[in-house]
Amino acid sequence: MQNHHVTKLEINLTALKYNYQYFKSQTKPGTKTLAVVKAFAYGLEPTTLANTLEKEGVDYFGVAYAYEGVKLRENGIKTPILVLHAQVAHYKLFVEHLLEPNLYSIHTLKKFLAFAKENDLDNYPIHLKFNTGLNRLGFDHSEINQVIELIKNNKNVKITSVFSHISASEDPNEIEFTEQQISTFKNIVKQLRSSIGNIFFVHMSNTSGVINYPDAHFDMVRIGIGLYGFGNHIKETEKLQNVANLKSIISQIRTVPKGESISYNRAFITSKEEKIAIIPIGHADGFSRPLGCGNGYVTIRGQRAKTVGNVCMDMILVNVTDIYCKEGDEVIVFDQQKTVEEFAAICQTISYEILTAISQRIQRVFIK
């Protein structure tokens, strides 16, 4: 069913392509690029974005779970898809839709090898992730001999890549730790190649890693938040183009007399007559509750209108006493990275969460 919500997220595909090419320019020729489109493409919309990036020549897509990869395949994506958090229960989906699993533990490796043998798979592409300090998914270095023993000479699967993840690539205070991670990963790769041959490619860097650690670009880099306009520092973000604009309208304007309460829990009491605009976006849409009570704002006719009272599930109230406006006027929630970063700071979070929290009931509109 078509989405007719009046609040909409405008997605600039030209800006997306610009950001992709910017990061390509930061790597040496021949370095592969994986575009991370998990979590609904960081809250934007995965299928149109993936189709756009596929035409730009992206080498891989990265998703978190199998169903995200299935959605891309059902929408015509042919590029290889790495499922970063592959689940044992979904292995059948991988084969049906040509998805490539990340195997990250002895348990998942054994399970997939058994599945591959049972289904008579031939050189099915798999990826092995090693933990080098993030202590999230991944084989530990101490398990490498067991991994080699299990996979050496196995004809059912083929190791396509070996990878890891830098823990603090954006943090200048953690350079020593990051360099140790890179060194550990290089040793793991060397040991694997000496045992099973140079049959796989290698990757470790995320967006910040591309910017800060060129010696960790290896054969492929993984770009997530950078595609959507955010670098690891304000100066890097300024080099990128804004991809997402969140817009709404004024549903109603109400004149509230002095001494009246506004919104849930009487969170705001007027000290004078105030003009209040009601906007159809709330915490169910991703406008977080900490942005209420004057902490957050929207822009109407070029002027900031601060929130009044608590954020409701489906709407917010903003003060437009000093702004000439009328019902039906456009409202800008954000149209630049700076505003997203400000909202993130108010909510004591990061830009990722502001974007991924945007509800799928919000209409997505694509701009070229």
Annotated catalytic sites, by residue?
38, 264
The b-or-e profile of 68-84 (16+ CB within 10 A means b, else e) is bbbbbeeeebebbbbbb
Neighbours of 137 (CB within 10 A): 17
- Helix (H), strand (E) counts: the chain: 12, 19
Show the beta-strand stretches assigned E in 181-320: 201-203, 220-223, 244-249, 252-256, 261-262, 268-269, 274-279, 297-300, 303-306, 316-319
Strand partners, 36: 62
Strand partners, 176: none
Strand partners, 63: 83
Distance CA 101, CA 157 (A): 11
